[in-house]
Chain A
Amino acid sequence: MLWNALLLSLREIRRNLLRSFLTTLGIVIGVSAVITMVTLGNGATLAVKQQIASLGSNLLIVRPGQRLGPGRDSAGAANFKVEDAQAIRDQIGGIKAVAPVVNKSVTVVVQASNWSTSVTGSNADYFTTNNWRLAGGRVFYESEERAGKAVCVIGNTVKRELFGAQNPVGGEIRIKQFSCEVIGLLAAKGQSSFGSDQDDTIVMPLRTVQRRLTGNQDVRTLMVSVKDGVSSDKAQRQIERLMRERRHIGDNEDDNFNVMDTKQIADTLSGTTQVLTTLLGAVAAVSLLVGGIGIMNIMLVSVTERTREIGIRLAIGALEREVLSQFLIEAVVLSSLGGLIGVILATLASIGLSGLMHIPYLFNPGINLLSFAFSAAIGVIFGYFPARRAASLDPIEALRHE
């Protein structure tokens, strides 16, 4: 009985290849669009999270000026001193590393080649707070920091531009009037989530930069890394209290500095990409819906066309139930075939596109199941109900149908 119905519907599908193809196509497009969009969105969210993790975990960034926002101005707020970093290290518990940081744009010369980059002055903690690993050489000693020695650790991009394939460790670079010994090479990190090249950098002792490049004692940023298992919220509050004290801010005055938690940035950014994913998913869902309406139309038209055929089947002794199960199986086979092809296409497209976009590919079983189920339901509903009307006619009425 069921076998007969299956046989009949497969025969029917084969007999009407074009119609079957069109019905399936609507589902294929809808399903693959939804799955691809959502999968790529998920991959993008993960990529952003991974890149933020490469910034450094549990990292607090302390800057002069109020928290960024409309109408707020950071100009005029006093910079930090190296003693502020020392105070945080001494007075707040659970701190792993504190790096006072200044930046300066410079042009670097090695023999005939030159390269514009940015120099960061800091201490050895900087490599901890910013998750830098070394590809070769060493970081600076404390003695070199204290003495303000002309030594530097260079990023991979700087090495490529100035030293090519040569080993830069032990070499010399010229910045303005002084020359500086290269003692280490940073392992490459790649692009940041904001699109800048993180490897285009040179790190020197803070004192060296202050003396030879900025010419003052100011520290622009304090990077504070919290020990694992310590609440970064608590550390943030303690740093804020300490800095208010050190900067003599009255009880009813606003902060003239701000503390940012990279975890917050990460949350904000991945929140944004998630919104984007939802939006893309919604657009794709519309295409699935349009695909569904396409199926509905084809099914409706084909049942109208086939009312006479239903009449023939009834006239030669088919039961209403048999005609219906044939149509139902036909709809189930077509729409699940479409769903299956859609899932396969979407998987291929997602793997290909995420490769092109340099984002990880994540298989999302939920969206695969959901869109498959939706398409199957559409096919079944719109294949079944019009057929039910036709099969409930007296055979002669169905046969008379024009």
Chain B
Amino acid sequence: MNAKSSAGASPAPVLAGEAPTLPTGATPLIRLQGITKTYGQGQAEFQALRGVDLTVDSGEFVAVMGPSGSGKSTVMNILGCLDVPSSGAYQFFGTHVERLSRPQRALLRRHYLGFVFQGFNLLARTSAQENVELPLLYRGESAAARHAAARAALAQVGLEGRERNTPAELSGGQQQRVAIARAIVTRPSVLLADEPTGNLDSTTSHEIMDLIAQLNRELGITVLMVTHEQEMAAYARRVVLFKDGLVESDFSPPPPGEGPGERERLLRTPLASIPSPPAPLMKPLPFGIPGGEGSFEVVGATSREGAA
């Protein structure tokens, strides 16, 4: 399951209506091949990514590091389907994301991805509860299910009793907790976090990191996180270093103060408690992305969107 041995896996079909390919142990969760991203045109042209290759398996906790301007955010946005690459292949569970339509990418975000931003990006003047409920609303969940799930997610990030507060009434750390609750309330496969502790003080940062590590460990959510700080990267079990739009190094350091044997133990322990593969990934989406509890409602949405 955790093996990075998927180089020869055949690409999954992309078109709606075709038989979906169920994930096999050999299909990595995320696979980037030769991803480039070019901003601007002509003289002002700037290549932010110059051929990134990256493979991430289900259940990993990856820290993305590198100097400012090295393309970390750009790659995260592409992974999160918030932006599209200029060239290269992005496979999500074998599905070629770069071949998906806009609405299909929206559905991928809706059902599989959670994004946490440095600047929180909560809706202003909207209660924590309503912010967390928002993704569920777009998934068409009933009011009762929304309320219960949002309250549970807020409790999970330690914000019990703060449901009614608006972002303005919460501290930075609490706002980031709301944002994390919003990202995980849909039980995504992947949590993408771009400098989640960048605006927070050291104590709060550690609290947020503990929370993210716990989500990875206990819920089996795959985490990719950008950070500048070595301290925060230490929570991850793999560090990918970017430089000038390329992956410069990719290594799994031993946790500080512990031997290699201990690291192996840590790597294995949390994953044992995860249903494998995670339950939501078992059911197929109509356009070839496997999994998703809201599959049948997505079928309707997709056929309408696909026709548009």
The answer to whether A357 has its CB under 8 Å from any CB of chain B is no
**Interchain CB contact under 8 A, B109 and A317:** yes
- Give chain A nearest CB distance to B195 CB in angstroms: 14
Tell me the complex Cα distance, A283–B221, Å. 64
Give the secondary structure class of A's interface: helix
A312 and B106 in contact, given A8-B137, A15-B126, A319-B305 (Cβ under 8 angstroms): no
Q: 1/0 per residue B102-125: CB within 8 Å of A? A: 110011011101010100011111
The answer to whether A316 has its CB under 8 Å from any CB of chain B is yes
**Interchain CB contact under 8 A, A317 and B182:** no
The answer to whether B9 has its CB under 8 Å from any CB of chain A is no
Chain A binder among B75-83, B86-94, B236-244:
B75-83
**Interchain CB contact under 8 A, B125 and A15:** yes
The answer to whether A314 has its CB under 8 Å from any CB of chain B is yes
Q: Which B residues are in CB contact (< 8 Å) with A16?
A: 125
A4 and B80 in contact, given A15-B126, A319-B301, A399-B121 (Cβ under 8 angstroms): no
Q: 1/0 per residue B55-85: CB within 8 Å of A? A: 0000000000000000000000100111110
Partner of A322, one of B81, B82, B130, B138: B138
Q: Which B residues are in CB contact (< 8 Å) with A174?
A: none
The answer to whether A147 has its CB under 8 Å from any CB of chain B is no
- Give chain B nearest CB distance to A303 CB in angstroms: 15
The answer to whether B17 has its CB under 8 Å from any CB of chain A is no
Q: Which of B174-191 contact A (CB under 8 A)?
A: 182, 186
Q: In the complex, what residue of chain A is closest to B103 when comparing beta carbons?
A: A319
- Give chain B nearest CB distance to A18 CB in angstroms: 11
Q: Which A residues are in CB contact (< 8 Å) with B308?
A: 321
Q: Which A residues are in CB contact (< 8 Å) with B121?
A: 308, 311-312, 315, 399
The answer to whether A275 has its CB under 8 Å from any CB of chain B is no
A309 and B77 in contact, given A318-B106, A395-B82 (Cβ under 8 angstroms): no
Is the interface on chain B under 10, 10 to 19, 20 to 34, or 35 or more residues?
A: 35 or more
**Interchain CB contact under 8 A, B138 and A316:** yes
Q: Which of B147-169 contact A (CB under 8 A)?
A: none
The answer to whether B277 has its CB under 8 Å from any CB of chain A is no
Tell me the complex Cα distance, A16–B122, Å. 16
A4 and B115 in contact, given A320-B106, A394-B84 (Cβ under 8 angstroms): no
**Interchain CB contact under 8 A, B138 and A320:** no
Tell me the complex Cα distance, A146–B103, Å. 100
The answer to whether B173 has its CB under 8 Å from any CB of chain A is no
**Interchain CB contact under 8 A, B138 and A321:** no
Q: Which B residues are in CB contact (< 8 Å) with A322?
A: 138
The answer to whether A249 has its CB under 8 Å from any CB of chain B is no
Q: Which B residues are in CB contact (< 8 Å) with A396?
A: 77, 82-83
**Interchain CB contact under 8 A, B137 and A319:** no
**Interchain CB contact under 8 A, B123 and A315:** no
Q: Which B residues are in CB contact (< 8 Å) with A211?
A: none
- Give chain B nearest CB distance to A310 CB in angstroms: 11
- Give chain A nearest CB distance to B86 CB in angstroms: 13
- Give chain A nearest CB distance to B69 CB in angstroms: 16
Taking A316-B109, A319-B305 as known contacts, 9 extra A-B pairs with beta carbons closer than 8 A to each other, sorted by chain A number, are A315-B80, A317-B139, A318-B106, A318-B110, A318-B138, A319-B301, A320-B102, A394-B82, A394-B83
Q: Which residues of B contact A (CB under 8 A)?
A: 77, 80-84, 102-103, 106-107, 109-111, 113, 115, 117, 121-126, 130, 134-135, 137-140, 182, 186, 301, 304-305, 308
26 A-B interface contacts by CB (under 8 A): A4-B137, A4-B138, A4-B140, A15-B125, A15-B126, A312-B122, A312-B123, A315-B82, A315-B115, A316-B109, A317-B107, A317-B109, A317-B138, A317-B139, A318-B138, A319-B103, A319-B301, A319-B305, A320-B102, A320-B106, A321-B103, A321-B308, A395-B81, A399-B82, A399-B117, A399-B121
